[in-house]
Amino acid sequence: MILEVRAEAPFYKNGFVLGCERTREAVVIDPGDEVAELIELVARHQLAVKHILLTHAHIDHVTGVGPAVAAFGVPVHLHRDDLFLYERSEQQAAMFGLPSVTLPPIDHFYDGSTFTFGDYDVRVLHTPGHCPGGVCLQVGKVGGSGGELFVGDTLFAGSIGRTDLPGGDYEVLMRAITEVLLPLGDDAIVHPGHGPDTTIGQERRSNPFILQYLRGRA
């Protein structure tokens, strides 16, 4: 699989281009301030983007949606429970002292369907807690187990997503991590919305938030 990631100031949020090396079909995940680089990468790899997939609607994950739609002309997908955040992009931007952002409408809400780009598919896993409509995108070869996880701000290397923003809930987030993500297997590669990649196994063994939560449930 073609996998490119870029991040730009001020949030250094990871945006992704995933492409099928055989068919050149692709998806873009969470276009933000790095969107110009993502558009250039699509052109460089000669990819045909099929979908824009959002893990959630916090401002740093959506600032590039407009330019991405203009460049690719493809539908934007979001979990319905985060629509209230998407529609309040101006208020979110103001909270961080950023210019207002005009976002195109959401075309489709996740409904359990699997997305396909070439030889790969994307399964959508609802993982609320950081925000109500947070999802993780499980990507792998069609018919396979899906060993690449694009988790937004649900889980980080050595940390978890914050839960002090509107709609955040620590207990809900920890249940999502331990009941949805950990069962996907220690070899699954985690691509967070910020910072470096990790694995489910690494986080199971050493993430202090997960260890503390599991001890409390023992």
How many residues would you count in the chain?
A: 218
Structural domain boundaries in the chain:
2-217
User: What mean pLDDT comes out for the span 80-93?
Assistant: 94
Torsional sign, CA 108, 114, 116, 122: positive
Quick check: 202 and 149 in contact, CB under 8 A?
no
**CATH code for residues 2-217:** 3.60.15.10
Give the pLDDT band of residue 217 (cuts 50, 70, 90): confident
Other beta carbons less than 10 A from residue 85's beta carbon: 23
Nearest-angstrom CA–CA distance, 101 and 106: 15
Bridge-partner residues for 28, per DSSP?
17, 52
pLDDT per residue as tens digits for the range 107-164: 999 999 999 999 999 999 999 999 999 999 999 999 888 999 999 999 999 999 999 9
pLDDT score, position 78: 98
